[in-house]
């Protein structure tokens, strides 16, 4: 208890220095947490991917569609439980900046594969009844102020023209990390419209989403699907949902790596600041440490004082930084709208913040503690004026 009182007293001896040091650590830990959360948000789609879902696309390119009749052939492959079409729509809602993913799907088959999307039964029935109905995520609805029954016009890009939709359902996520920025509408409505607007583009699927009975056989079933269409005019490439999502992330992997590096550079900078603070403190207290040693206190006691003070500063600054990470992340995620599918501070990020703070606290104290414990009493007492 006496040691603790000494540590607190030493830490508060220079209030301005202590305040600036803890504020610096607060900003560093907060920045580190936000940057790591950005990285997590980037990989969120891959992290949420189910092991029993496969994506079947054209082997040439994702932008090349597949014939719709592949659907029944894929469904007949042993081990396949369900198959659904999914077409990327890419319509513009009001302004080009209002970007969010939009998919034309086989409603019952597709939604049956995604139990993480929670939809009210009555709203789902209304969606199935209305060929021009859409299902949107809660975050998307909040971002654009949409409610069930609102008209939602989209200007087509991949599929040109003006498309009129009506919000018939709003889905929630099973967990806070579930993506609720998506829009779904009925593939049959898209296909029937294309038969009139662009007949040559009808009866095609962007990808097929496949649910397998045994996730352990996913690779085997994927290979069987690709073999089924080998040497056909439209060969397929089947991969797990996670691999499919990672393929998109890798397109911006250099940016993600840069963000990771910056987050650790921030920690290194605050480590240098903390180390300088503790070095200044140790130099100022040489005479005090020499006096303590002359009174019989050993090197271990000096280690306790210096390491304790350094850890105290680190814990206070990091604790405040971690506490602020959650509201700041929530605010930041709201400002970003639908750019990030989810922006949630993970437990892993918090643990990394704690570990970084402890590492900074320990490393900052090592050199001053070694110098104080090894310093000669005579040299220390000469500093007394």
Per-residue pLDDT tens over the stretch 320-345 = 889 998 988 888 877 766 666 667 78
Is the pLDDT at 384 greater than 60? The verdict is no
Alpha-carbon distances, residue 220 vs 78, 215, 240 (angstroms): 10, 10, 11
What's the Rg (C-alpha) of the chain? 30
Per-residue pLDDT tens over the stretch 276-321 = 777 777 676 666 666 666 666 666 777 777 777 788 888 888 888 8
Q: Long-range contact list for 145-154, CB < 8 A, 24+ apart? A: 146/170, 148/123, 152/93, 152/183, 153/93, 154/89, 154/91, 154/92, 154/93, 154/102
Beta partners for residue 88, in sequence order: 103
DSSP 8-state symbol, 64: S
> What is the pLDDT, as a whole number, of residue 184?
97
Q: What is d(CA 307, CA 158) in angstroms, rounded to the nearest whole number?
A: 62
> What is the pLDDT, as a whole number, of residue 304?
74
Helix (H, G, I), strand (E, B) or coil at 194: helix
The model's confidence at residue 70, banded by pLDDT at 50, 70 and 90, is: very high
> What is the pLDDT, as a whole number, of residue 292?
64
The two structure tokens encoding residue 324? 């602020």
Helix (H, G, I), strand (E, B) or coil at 165: strand
The two structure tokens encoding residue 220? 């085997």
Q: What is d(CA 300, CA 115) in angstroms, rounded to the nearest whole number?
A: 58
- CA dihedral 235→239→241→242, nearest 10 degrees, is -140
Per-residue pLDDT tens over the stretch 119-152 = 999 999 999 999 999 999 998 998 889 999 999 9
Helix (H, G, I), strand (E, B) or coil at 105: strand
**Average confidence (pLDDT) over 94-104:** 88
Percent helix, strand, coil in the chain (nearest 5)? Answer: 60, 15, 25
> What is the pLDDT, as a whole number, of residue 347?
85
The model's confidence at residue 259, banded by pLDDT at 50, 70 and 90, is: confident
Is the pLDDT at 380 greater than 60? The verdict is no
Per-residue pLDDT tens over the stretch 157-200 = 889 889 999 999 999 988 887 888 899 999 999 999 999 888 88
> What is the pLDDT, as a whole number, of residue 36?
85
Is the pLDDT at 364 greater than 90? The verdict is no
The two structure tokens encoding residue 141? 């609805």
> What is the pLDDT, as a whole number, of residue 183?
95
Helix (H, G, I), strand (E, B) or coil at 303: helix
Is the pLDDT at 38 greater than 90? The verdict is no
**Average confidence (pLDDT) over 222-249:** 87
Nearest to 135 by CA among 162, 159, 111, 113: 111
- The string of DSSP letters for 349-381 reads HHHHHHHHHHHHHHHHHHHHHHHHHHS-HHHHH
Q: What is d(CA 248, CA 256) in angstroms, rounded to the nearest whole number?
A: 12
HSE at residue 163, side-chain half, CA atoms within 13 A, is: 29
> What is the pLDDT, as a whole number, of residue 34?
87
Which H or E element spans position 8?
helix 2-11
Mean pLDDT of the chain: 84
Q: What is d(CA 24, CA 110) in angstroms, rounded to the nearest whole number?
A: 49
Q: Range with the lowest mean pLDDT among 89-103, 174-188, 268-282?
A: 268-282
* Contact call for residues 154 and 92 (beta carbons, < 8 A): yes
Q: What is d(CA 340, CA 45) in angstroms, rounded to the nearest whole number?
A: 10
Quick one: angle between helices 253-284 and 286-294, nearest 10?
A: 60
Q: Is the dihedral of CA 78, 82, 87, 90 positive or negative?
A: negative
């Amino acid at each position: 208890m006496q040691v603790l009182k000494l540590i607190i007293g030493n830490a508060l001896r220079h209030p301005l220095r202590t305040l600036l040091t803890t504020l610096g650590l607060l900003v560093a830990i907060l920045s580190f947490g936000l940057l790591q959360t950005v990285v997590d948000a980037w990989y969120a789609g891959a992290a949420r991917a189910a092991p029993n879902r496969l994506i079947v696309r054209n082997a040439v390119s994702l932008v090349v569609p597949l014939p719709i009749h592949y659907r029944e052939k894929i469904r007949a492959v042993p081990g396949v439980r369900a198959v659904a079409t999914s077409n990327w729509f890419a319509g513009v809602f009001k302004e080009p900046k209002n970007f969010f993913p939009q998919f034309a799907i086989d409603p019952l088959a597709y939604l049956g594969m995604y139990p993480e999307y929670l939809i009210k039964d009555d709203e789902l029935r209304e969606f199935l009844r209305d060929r021009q109905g859409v299902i949107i995520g809660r975050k998307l609805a909040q971002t654009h102020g949409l409610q069930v029954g609102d008209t939602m016009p989209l200007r087509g890009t991949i599929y040109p023209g003006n498309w009129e939709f009506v919000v018939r359902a709003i889905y929630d996520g099973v967990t806070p990390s579930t993506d609720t920025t998506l829009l779904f509408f009925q593939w049959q409505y898209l296909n029937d419209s294309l038969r009139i607007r662009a007949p040559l583009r009808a009866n095609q699927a962007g990808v097929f989403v496949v649910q397998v009975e045994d996730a352990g056989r996913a690779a085997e079933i994927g290979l069987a699907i690709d073999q089924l269409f080998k040497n056909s005019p439209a060969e397929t490439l089947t991969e797990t949902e996670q691999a499919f999502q990672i393929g998109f992330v890798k397109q911006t992997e250099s940016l993600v790596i840069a963000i990771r590096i910056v987050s650790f550079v921030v920690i290194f900078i605050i480590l240098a600041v903390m180390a300088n603070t503790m070095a200044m403190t140790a130099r100022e207290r040489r005479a005090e440490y020499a006096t303590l040693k002359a009174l019989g206190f050993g090197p271990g006691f000096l280690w306790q004082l210096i390491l304790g003070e350094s850890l105290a500063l680190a814990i206070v600054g990091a604790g405040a930084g971690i506490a602020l990470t959650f509201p700041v992340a929530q605010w930041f995620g709201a400002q970003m709208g639908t750019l990030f599918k989810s922006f949630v501070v993970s437990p892993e990020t918090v643990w990394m913040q704690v570990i970084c703070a402890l590492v900074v606290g320990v490393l900052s104290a090592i050199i001053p503690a070694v110098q104080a414990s090894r310093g000669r009493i005579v040299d220390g007492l000469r500093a007394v004026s």
